[in-house]
A = this chain, B = another copy of it.
Amino acid sequence: MILILKNGATDDQIDHVIQKVESMGFQTHLSRGTFRTIIGMIGDESLTTEQQLQSIPGVHQVIPVLPPYKLASREAHPESSVIDVSGVKIGGGNLAMIAGPCSVEDRDRMMRIGESVVKSGANLFRGGAYKPRTSPYAFQGLGEAGLKILREVGDAFGVPVVTEITDPRNVELVAEYSDMLQVGARNMQNFVLLTEVGKSERPVLLKRGMAATIQDLLMSAEYVLSQGNPNVVLCERGIKSFDPSTRNLYDVAAVPVVQGLTHLPIIVDPSHATGRPDLIPPCALAGLAAGADGVHIEVHDCPEEAKSDGAQALLPEQYNEIVEKMAAMAELLGKTIS
């Protein structure tokens, strides 16, 4: 870290800062400028935190020079990770094509939607059995019955399945029925849940929170990695902004930013990012063009009957059409759909 001292920091303050920092196990390097005194700290940054250093009297600003996410950082692990979800590869040129309804609903409908999206080219089926709903009065998901249906669809059409986990007490149960555990945007900083999925052997789909910086997202990935689970796929799904035109603001630049900082794959979710079916196709293509390692799209065969989020789903025939375009673009970009 680098400490920039306050204008007019006294010699006593400077001495105290140096002594304090050296007592933490760092070597220091003092530089007095015309206007500011700077102290370089040489040593293991994990021995302290920005906040602690900020609290030392006389310190104006603390500049970290290493990313605080060690396991997730590309500096530590230069080669892109390829995550294997029961045979489907994500990252390193392999695209995840995740599709399915927001919520798991009745078995017949799920079989119909599953058959359709797999035929179109999806390689992972999704559906929520435990739904984090803004309203306590809204449909909260079918629970274990939903997990069973989801598993059945995956088995019937030969694709792995991914579903959301919301309760640290349910990790084992959900992992039993599914191939990949999704941590939703609202739980991205639910560290208790991250710690539990980090102990699971299932790959994790970690969605970016609506107020999360990219560093926040990578710190949450670090929680999972630090528990021993190296299989994390990140997902950009829109952040908060001031324009009501779209439900969230689709941060497509996050894809190359993340890829520069971490070896973990990152996919995009234009359904949640925009909340509007007409915007899903252009935003899906934009995500691929920006370099995303996959695309997550909600599909429902009768949105007006969907138990949740119907308004942001594509119809199966619309999904079929966009997959064709995505496949053509993948070819142009030299990417593979496993």
Q: Which residues of A contact B (CB under 8 A)?
A: 2, 4, 7, 20, 29, 31, 33-36, 38, 40-43, 46, 49, 51-52, 54-57, 61, 63, 65-66, 68, 75, 132-138, 166-169, 186-187, 189-193, 195, 209-211, 213-216, 219, 222-223, 226-227, 239-246, 249-257, 260, 270, 273-274, 278-279, 282-283, 285-291, 303-304, 306, 308-313, 328-329, 332
Contact = CB atoms under 8 A, between A and B. Distances in A.
Given A213-B243, A242-B242, 11 more contacts: A35-B65, A35-B66, A46-B137, A52-B306, A132-B191, A166-B191, A240-B240, A246-B257, A253-B270, A282-B289, A289-B289
A45 to B, nearest CB: 8
A189 B253 contact: no
A20 B290 contact: no
Given A273-B253, A304-B52, A243 B226 contact: no
Contacts of A55: 303-304, 306, 310-311, 313
Q: Give the one of A223, A274, A290 with max B CB within 10 A.
A: A290
A79 B2 CA distance: 31
A189 B132 contact: yes
Contacts of A4: 2, 63, 65
B239 A239 contact: no
A329 B250 CA distance: 21
A239 B273 CA distance: 16
